[in-house]
């Protein structure tokens, strides 16, 4: 996995979040929408988190990702 590929994964996650009105989804839903594997999703979360584009919370045992407004 290289930086270009991780950037592509990050774009998939960002688009999935941007496409819903709340701009927020549980990680399990993002995995279904993007078809990313765990390690690919986590790399994308790291990328977007480092760029300051994500809020990350744990709600009822699931990681919930939201776009920073």
The reported pTM is 0.92
pLDDT above 70 coverage of the chain, percent:
100
| Structural domains of the chain, ranges and CATH numbers in brackets | 3-67 (1.10.10.10)
Average pLDDT score, the chain: 95
User: Is the per-residue pLDDT at 69 higher than 90?
Assistant: no
What are the DSSP E strand ranges found in 1-69?
A: 24-26, 54-59, 62-67
Which pLDDT belongs to residue 1? Answer: 79
Question: Is pLDDT at 58 greater than 90 in this prediction?
Answer: yes
Whether residue 65 is predicted with pLDDT greater than 90 in this model: the reply is yes
């Amino acid at each position: 996995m290289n930086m270009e590929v991780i950037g592509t994964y990050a774009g998939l996650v960002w688009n999935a979040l941007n496409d819903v009105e709340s701009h927020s989804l549980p990680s399990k839903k993002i995995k279904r929408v993007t078809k990313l594997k765990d390690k690919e999703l986590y790399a994308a979360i790291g990328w977007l988190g480092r760029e300051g584009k994500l809020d990350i919370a744990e709600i009822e045992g699931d990681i919930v990702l939201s776009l920073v407004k």
